A and B are shown apart, each in its own frame.
Chain A
Amino acid sequence: MDMVRNEVRQLNPEQYTETKALDHASQQARQRNYQDFLIVDVDAHHYESESYKDVFSYIENPVIKMEAMDSMTRAGRSGFLNNQVGYQSLGGRMTRHKNRAFFKARGDRHRDVDWTLDWMDAMGVDYSCMFPTPMLFLGLHPQVEIEVALCRAYNHWLCERILAQEPRIVSMLYLPFNDPEWAYRTVRDFGDKKGVVGFMVTSPRYKPVHDNAYMKTYALLQEMGKPISFHAAYSWDDRALATTNRFISVHSLGFMWFNMIHMTNWVVNGIPERFPKLKTMWIESGLTWAYCLMQRLDHSYMMRTSDCPQLKRKPSEYMQDMYYSSQPMEVPDDLSILEATFKMIKAETQLVWSSDYPHWDFDLPSVIYDLPFLKEQAKRNILGANAARLFNLDSKPVKTIP
């Protein structure tokens, strides 16, 4: 029950807290009784760039470490890391990105732990899978050794400073996929660390996922029972996407584009047949792309089975065994279209809710909970039970909704 409230407020950014900014999310959480069941967020973010000094101190190679530390003194000029042109804050319409500067840590733990727990509780989330933000573009860095160095430093830092400190925050760790040998070593070295529930490949990159060099990594992941995920992003440097002139265009297309390519290569080259127990997840491409690709590949497959002789079933049947994160939920005016999409991807068992918070197009749990065509159990599966199974999490709710 919401308390009876009477007040007149002024807007005061300096008093910004996640709890206040997400007060309406907490109202939804109480109205829908989220305290009664588990909610797992499979894709949320922090801004690791705010901790670069600390992260860089974990770089193993002394020469690269020196370059990284020096780059901290060159704000605004050419740097050690690549980045992308982006307008995620919508010209300032998205106020939380700058207001969060006022957030203060409460104790000895890293500020990101307190900040993450605050928004998780406000939304009604029990466990959250934390990912970086600028590093989503690291697969496009021109120097492979820098991707490896930063990935290893970040993973060490994340395991020590965040995951070891807070059991409600977990992560699928960044894989330095442009160097297959180091990708393998990353799984080997970090796979058993506390809070590591899988590994994540950032999708904007130009190495084919079916390259022979990756087979031993897939084998190791399968053996460990840890999922591999492909986290979408855009690249305005991609030759086709470079023709777009607005952020809406490069973002809408880019977040589907790279995952469509990786999925096509993954299925056509029979990776699911070679590693039948390897769990695969596709993150932040929404849902419509999967539906579209299933129909398209099935159609062509019937005429071109000789192009993919490893397949024993239609492409869509392999895709229905994979997992999909829900955000951004593209909700059409006609909900029967969304219902068909849910059916196509077998949402009741394969869809896993994600917020993508605090990014600009984040979703709340109500995006699933309020769908009229889902039964209560299906809602609970998508919001938490499917991910708990995948990540091996306890199914007891642990949050405290304000």
Chain B
Amino acid sequence: MPECFVAKASELKDGDRRIVVSGPHEVGVFFKDGDYYAYSNYCVHAGGPACEGILVNNVVDILNGDQTYEGQTFGDAVHFACPWHGYEYDLKTGECIGDRKLRLRKYNVVKRGDEIFVVI
């Protein structure tokens, strides 16, 4: 399994990412809240660049105890949204939010000294 260089760890700020292209593989590597995540950059919907959109927290409807609606806010889960049509994915698992049976292929990320690699 070849390892592909992603970036120097010191270059990646919180929320940064790189797209690593190696032959037929395209992988989005994210650095968020101290962790690295790597997923296939091919969206489960129509093959769009799934990892090239914005990072956004989940949206929550606020309901009161009596089931009345109060408004909306953001929750704690971080998603990334495919820029072609907006399919959202859970950053921690790569699962597609609209149907969690669907998920992006996950890749392993390794850190050697100050260098980050993704295993393709």
Interface residues of A (CB under 8 A from B): 2, 4-11, 21, 23-25, 27-28, 90-96, 360-364, 366-367
Contact check, B83 vs A6: say whether CB atoms are below 8 A apart: no
Task: Tell me which of A9, A25, A90 contacts B18 (CB under 8 A).
Answer: A9
Contact check, A360 vs B22: say whether CB atoms are below 8 A apart: no
The size class of the interface chain B forms with chain A is: 20 to 34
With A24-B42, A94-B83, A96-B83 as contacts: A5 and B23 at CB distance below 8 Å:
yes
Shortest CB-to-CB span from A360 to chain B, Å, is: 7
Inside 8 A of A11's CB, which chain B residues have their CB? 17, 19, 52
B104 interface residue (CB < 8 Å to A): no
Given contacts A9-B20, A90-B86, A95-B83, 5 further A-B contacts (CB under 8 A): A8-B18, A21-B49, A93-B54, A95-B53, A360-B85
Question: Which of A10, A28, A361, A363 has the most chain B CB atoms closer than 10 A to its own CB?
Answer: A10
Contact check, B83 vs A366: say whether CB atoms are below 8 A apart: no
Contact check, A8 vs B21: say whether CB atoms are below 8 A apart: yes
Q: How long is the Cα–Cα vector from A9 to B17 in the complex, in angstroms?
A: 9
Q: How long is the Cα–Cα vector from A402 to B119 in the complex, in angstroms?
A: 29
A selection of 19 A-B contacts at a CB cut-off of 8 Å is: A2-B24, A5-B22, A8-B20, A9-B18, A9-B19, A9-B21, A10-B19, A21-B83, A23-B49, A24-B48, A24-B49, A28-B47, A92-B54, A93-B53, A93-B54, A93-B81, A93-B83, A95-B54, A96-B83
Inside 8 A of A28's CB, which chain B residues have their CB? 47
Task: Tell me which of B21, B86, B88 contacts A6 (CB under 8 A).
Answer: B21
Inside 8 A of B85's CB, which chain A residues have their CB? 94, 360-362
Inside 8 A of B18's CB, which chain A residues have their CB? 8-10
Shortest CB-to-CB span from A236 to chain B, Å, is: 18
Contact check, B54 vs A4: say whether CB atoms are below 8 A apart: no
Contact check, B47 vs A366: say whether CB atoms are below 8 A apart: yes
Which chain A residue shows the least CB distance to B17?
A11
* Closest A-B pairs by Cβ, 5 of them: A93-B81, A9-B19, A95-B83, A90-B86, A93-B86
Q: How long is the Cα–Cα vector from A364 to B45 in the complex, in angstroms?
A: 11
With A24-B42, A24-B48 as contacts: A93 and B21 at CB distance below 8 Å:
no
Which chain B residue shows the least CB distance to A329?
B46
Which chain A residue shows the least CB distance to B22?
A6
Inside 8 A of B48's CB, which chain A residues have their CB? 24
Q: How long is the Cα–Cα vector from A95 to B23 in the complex, in angstroms?
A: 26
Q: How long is the Cα–Cα vector from A129 to B87 in the complex, in angstroms?
A: 27
Inside 8 A of A8's CB, which chain B residues have their CB? 4-7, 18-21
Contact residues of B between 24 and 67, Cβ < 8 Å to A: 24, 42, 46-49, 52-54, 56
Shortest CB-to-CB span from B57 to chain A, Å, is: 11
Shortest CB-to-CB span from A167 to chain B, Å, is: 28
Q: How long is the Cα–Cα vector from A367 to B48 in the complex, in angstroms?
A: 13
Shortest CB-to-CB span from B21 to chain A, Å, is: 5
Q: How long is the Cα–Cα vector from A360 to B46 in the complex, in angstroms?
A: 13
Q: How long is the Cα–Cα vector from A124 to B4 in the complex, in angstroms?
A: 31
Q: How long is the Cα–Cα vector from A301 to B88 in the complex, in angstroms?
A: 44
Q: How long is the Cα–Cα vector from A136 to B85 in the complex, in angstroms?
A: 21
Inside 8 A of B4's CB, which chain A residues have their CB? 6, 8
- Residues 85-106 of chain B, each 1 if its beta carbon lies under 8 Å from chain A, else 0: 1101000000000000000000
Shortest CB-to-CB span from A261 to chain B, Å, is: 28
Q: How long is the Cα–Cα vector from A96 to B24 in the complex, in angstroms?
A: 24
Task: Tell me which of A23, A25, A360, A364 contacts B86 (CB under 8 A).
Answer: A360
Contact check, B86 vs A24: say whether CB atoms are below 8 A apart: no
Shortest CB-to-CB span from A264 to chain B, Å, is: 31
Inside 8 A of A362's CB, which chain B residues have their CB? 84-85
Q: How long is the Cα–Cα vector from A360 to B83 in the complex, in angstroms?
A: 9
Inside 8 A of B23's CB, which chain A residues have their CB? 4-6
Shortest CB-to-CB span from A249 to chain B, Å, is: 14
Which chain B residue shows the least CB distance to A333?
B99
Inside 8 A of B49's CB, which chain A residues have their CB? 21, 23-24
Which chain B residue shows the least CB distance to A367?
B46
Inside 8 A of A91's CB, which chain B residues have their CB? 56
- Residues 3-18 of chain B, each 1 if its beta carbon lies under 8 Å from chain A, else 0: 0111100000000011
Q: How long is the Cα–Cα vector from A95 to B86 in the complex, in angstroms?
A: 9
Inside 8 A of A9's CB, which chain B residues have their CB? 18-21
Q: How long is the Cα–Cα vector from A4 to B4 in the complex, in angstroms?
A: 15
Which chain A residue shows the least CB distance to B49?
A24
